[in-house]
């Protein structure tokens, strides 16, 4: 899939290689960031940072790894760094308005499906978001989050069962009122 990028790198055409990478992986880099951060603005920052890092180290890419695995790993690290700095800042400021939805009280954001999703544990949220963003492909989710396929399937089933139980509870509550 990325032979053309490798050919460009071998010919030391780094700029061209980077442009190929950026056009091919831009959306996936952003999706990984969004799955981890659950915030479009933060995801954009993380994706931007990931692209910058890829640019800086693309010429030194070691051929013993798959290019996309390397790109996904940089994307995850950038997203996790943004998440960590956001958490640290939020802990320092203790201002609820600055917290992303997932750190705010669940009751505040539980009206829609995304609000319910935010009440799940982070790994469940990441898998569910990425699964739907990647057109329901287990393989891609497993590769992008560096998880075994079995884990992705299990997490997805449990997460959706939790979500459906929450939603069904609400449906039944509405019905009894």
Partner 1 sequence: MMDCAEFKEQPGCAEFKEQLGCGGTGPLDAHASSCPGCAALAAAFAELDAALTAQYSGLSAPPLRMPRALPAGPSMLPAALDWIAWSGVTACCAVLLIFSPLGTVLSAWAWMILLLCVAVACVFWPAKTLQS
Residues near partner 1 (CB under 8 A): 14-15, 18-19, 22, 26-27, 29-31, 34, 40, 44, 47-48, 51-52, 55-57, 59-60, 112-114, 117, 128-129, 132-133, 135-136, 157, 160-161, 163-165, 167-168, 171-172
> Which is nearer to partner 1, 76 or 129 (by Cβ)?
129
- Residue listed under structure tokens 């569910």: 128
Residue 59 or 69 with smaller CB distance to partner 1: 59
- Least spacing, CB of residue 46 vs partner 1, in Å: 11
**Least distance in Å: CB of 167 to partner 1?**
4
SS3 of residue 170 by DSSP: helix
The residue among 91 and 149 lying less far from partner 1, judged by its C-beta, is 149
* Nearer to partner 1 among residue 90 and residue 114 (C-beta): 114
Q: Residue 89 or 157: which CB sits closer to partner 1?
A: 157
> Min. distance of Cβ 86 from partner 1 in angstroms?
19
Q: Taken in order 32, 36, 40, 46, is the CA torsion positive or negative? A: negative
Q: Distance between CA atoms of 51 and 23, rounded to whole angstroms?
A: 11
In eight-state DSSP terms, residue 60 is G
Q: What are the tokens at 101?
A: 């939805």
Nearest approach in angstroms of CB 74 to partner 1 is 13
The C-alpha angle 129, 130, 132, rounded to 5 degrees, equals 70
- Least Å from the CB of residue 171 to partner 1: 5
């Amino acid at each position: 899939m990325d032979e053309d990028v490798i050919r460009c790198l071998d010919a030391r055409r780094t700029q061209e290689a980077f442009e190929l990478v950026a056009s091919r992986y831009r959306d996936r880099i952003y999706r990984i960031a969004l799955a981890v951060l659950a915030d479009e603005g933060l995801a954009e920052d993380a994706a931007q940072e990931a692209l910058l890092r890829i640019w800086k180290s693309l010429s030194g890419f070691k051929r013993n790894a798959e290019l996309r695995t390397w790109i996904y790993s940089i994307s995850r690290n950038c997203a996790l760094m943004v998440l960590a700095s956001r958490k640290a800042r939020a802990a320092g400021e203790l201002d609820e308005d600055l917290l992303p939805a997932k750190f705010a009280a669940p009751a505040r954001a539980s009206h829609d499906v995304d609000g319910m999703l935010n009440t799940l544990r982070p790994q469940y949220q990441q898998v569910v978001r990425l699964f739907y963003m990647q057109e329901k492909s287990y393989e891609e989710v497993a590769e992008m989050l560096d998880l075994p396929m079995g884990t992705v399937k299990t997490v997805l089933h449990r997460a959706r069962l939790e979500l459906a139980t929450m939603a069904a509870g609400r449906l039944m509550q509405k019905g009894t009122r």
